[in-house]
Amino acid sequence: MTTIAIVDYGMGNYHSVERALRHAAPEADIRLCKLASEIDAADRVVFPGQGAMADCIRTLDEAGLREAVVRAARNKPLLGVCVGEQMLFERSEEGNTPSLAIFPGQVKKFQGPAFATLSNGEHSTIEHLKVPHMGWNPVRQVRPHALWAGIADATPFYFVHSYYAVPADAQLTVGVSDYGAPFTCAVASENIFAVQFHPEKSAEPGLRLYRNFVDWKP
């Protein structure tokens, strides 16, 4: 039986993730894990997060789980969700917070006006962005990946966020959405896949992504 650890460090919607995973993979052994030893023992790891970046990093360290997450990122399938994706990068503009530095890149805040591209190639300001960005947005699959299996390109997923990852390596980006301008909303490398949106709030496509994660053999 596959054991899936959901990293429980006090800053995530763990029970929603747990319910979605149980629905998507009823045969799996899904556990909310507060101990590094439990994460180390699991076959797969889901790393969710919500709230302010500085608080997430602080509580992760206080829970003694930073190194367990880093170890998991090195040697087993890991799925980052929302701030769990952002924490994989080097630093966030939110409080100028250093993070786990598993991926090269920064986390930046949405700001400024939204633009519409005119037929002559110029731009026209149409509205200021509302922050946080909340709601359903299509996700364009810019690179094939096993976790996109059975999910159509441009399928909408549910977002709630004010910040987004900007990878230093463009090859990390496997999914893009638009809010004022295109932004990276899914990244992947070897045994890691991470998304800015919430699969557990994204109906059947979100459940399919969780199922794909359970079946994934990186």
For 12-68, the pLDDT digits (tens) are 788 999 999 999 999 999 999 999 999 999 999 999 999 999 999 999 999 999 999
CATH code that applies to domain 3-215: 3.40.50.880
For 168-209, the pLDDT digits (tens) are 999 999 999 999 889 999 999 999 999 999 999 999 999 999
End-to-end alpha-carbon separation of the chain, Å? 18
pLDDT of residue 120: 55
Predicted structure pTM score: 0.92
Domain boundaries along the sequence of the chain: 3-215
pLDDT of residue 121: 56
Q: Among all residues, which ones are annotated catalytic?
A: 82, 198, 200
pLDDT of residue 11: 85
